[in-house]
């Protein structure tokens, strides 16, 4: 009985390993890009000014580099989220 279980597990391991379509490992590596937030907010919040801000994408993470960092997020005419720096330092992690 014990040998049957061990042989079944060994067979299952071989089958699942052989089903791989390439030679890469089964874990997926996710690449991130760091985007420094250097665009400061301006007093004029017209569409032209907002157009110069950094556009946020789905799954972006906004990271404060300094304790008292402040950012503002606006929506442009296409409902895209735009971010600018009020004070401090920040960056965006993009996946």
Whole-number Å distance between alpha carbons of 6 and 82: 57
Question: Residue 10 above 90 pLDDT?
Answer: no
Q: What is the pLDDT of residue 20?
A: 46
Q: Measure Cα distances from 82 to 2, 28, 71 in Å.
A: 62, 30, 10
pLDDT digits (tens, 9 = 90+) for 54-64: 999 999 999 99
Whole-number Å distance between alpha carbons of 38 and 69: 12
User: Does the model's pTM come out above 0.85?
Assistant: no
How wide is the angle at C-alpha 41 spanned by C-alphas 38 and 47, nearest 5°?
115
pLDDT, averaged across the chain:
80
């Amino acid at each position: 009985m014990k040998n049957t279980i061990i042989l079944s597990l060994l067979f299952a391991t071989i089958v699942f390993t052989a089903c791989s379509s390439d030679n890469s490992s089964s874990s997926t590596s996710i690449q991130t890009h760091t985007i420094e937030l250097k665009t400061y907010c301006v007093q004029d919040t017209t569409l032209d000014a907002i157009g110069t801000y950094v556009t946020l994408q789905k799954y972006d993470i906004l990271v404060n580099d300094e304790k008292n960092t402040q950012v503002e997020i606006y929506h442009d005419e296409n409902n895209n989220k735009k971010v600018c720096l009020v004070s401090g330092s920040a960056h965006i992690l993009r996946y």
